[in-house]
Amino acid sequence: MPVPGEVARAVSPRATTAPPAADFDSGWDLPEGGPAPVDPPAAGGDDEAGPTRFVEEPLSPRDPDGEDVFIDLTDRPRTRGALANVAGIKFREAGSIHEYDAGDQSYQRGEQVVVESERGPILGIVAVGSRRTLVSEPLHRIVRRAGAEEERQRERNARKEQEAFVLCRDKIRERRMPMKLLRAELPLQGAKLLFYFASEERIDFRDLVKDLGARLRGRIEMRQVGARDEAKMVGGLGDCGRELCCSTFLPSFAPVSIKMAKDQGLVLNPARVTGQCGRLKCCLVYEHALYQEMRKGLPKVGKRVKTPAGEGRVVELDVLRQMVRVGFMEGGTQTFPAATVEALAPPQQGGRPAPEPAPE
């Protein structure tokens, strides 16, 4: 019976490799796609060990179906930031959503949690479930899930907030201060009581803060808000008969301009385009992008156009129905589909196009 060493020598006759030949690296400097060197057949047959050779093969073409799209991921620039487990938290039913670090925990939408804040631990609701994402700056941390004790503390704080609200409102009336109290907030630990108010003037409330601090025996902070935030806190009904968007589902306010009302063909009546806050309605933003898209290709009001009934000028546009109302020089107006109306160039005067008359 052979010993293990003899078995190894019998299975691997090439245990001792010959030194590399002089032309070992001769194929590395060949151009791409050039002929690859071919080793000459070994003189001793297949059982004799020949010099080891590396043959450079041409690169295969890129896959037209895109299956090799991940081939150059290492060359792409990486987004700066740290990977963190982030959850979206809100503190009111229609409040803004803030990002918080969830740590190693997993949170689902609708769960109540205790989070860190500048005013101490406060109670919040998970609006966006936790997920892994890149963050550019450190986030406040979610401390834990809210339990029965936090729920009882929240109810106690709600009673204290109501008492503090009534007291502050009475003090404002006694001093006849031109301000409207909106809300009182107390965090879980009750370190600071925060009052929100609205006013059109700059208010000196230092004496009011001292009086409230002595009566409530705590730190007091007064925070003034604008007209939109006032409507968001108070709530109400809009012209459409539904509750205000800002107090039901809008997390933040988008910029609104009077141009949005003009693009949608609305009557520029302040009673029609302003909301309860006295500012332009937030709902003007909802369909503005659609109107901009559907206006593409439509002639402007006052432009000369060619219609199946003759030439005329655009009097009115129905953007949603894609209809154009045209007035004729002979008198009268007709409505045509936008596809049948062709814009005309203005008449030439002295080699220059004549200016278009302003629409009536």
Alpha carbon distance 136, 119 (integer Å): 23
pLDDT given at position 345: 77
CA 226 to chain centre: 24
Third-level CATH fold of 151-225: GMP Synthetase; Chain A, domain 3 (3.30.300)
Q: Residue 167: its pLDDT value, please? A: 92
CA 20 to CA 37: how far, in whole Å? 15
pTM attached to this predicted model: 0.58
Q: Domain boundaries in the chain?
A: 82-146, 151-225, 231-293, 299-350
What is the secondary structure of 100-161 as a DSSP string?
Answer: EE-TT----TT-EEEE--TTS-EEEEEEEEEEEEEESS---BEEEE--HHHHHHHHHHHHHH
For residue 157, the model assigns a pLDDT of: 87
Q: What is the pLDDT of residue 83?
A: 86
Unique residue bearing structure tokens 């090799």: 68
- 343: its two tokens: 């814009």
What is the chain's pLDDT, residue by residue, as a tens digit (360 residues)?
Answer: 444 444 444 444 444 455 555 554 544 454 454 454 445 444 444 444 445 444 444 545 544 444 444 344 334 444 456 888 898 888 877 777 888 988 888 898 888 898 888 777 888 889 888 888 888 888 888 988 888 888 888 888 889 889 999 999 999 999 889 999 999 988 877 678 889 999 888 888 888 998 888 888 888 889 998 888 888 888 888 888 888 888 888 877 888 999 898 888 888 888 888 988 889 998 999 989 999 888 888 888 888 888 888 888 888 888 888 898 999 888 888 889 988 888 887 766 554 555 555 544
State residue 18's pLDDT score. 55
Which H helix or E strand runs over 327? strand 323-327
Helix, strand, coil % in the chain, rounded to nearest 5: 25, 25, 50
pLDDT at 169: 92
Tell which CATH classification among 3.30.1300.10, 3.40.30.10, 3.90.10.10, 2.30.30.30 matches the domain 299-350: 2.30.30.30
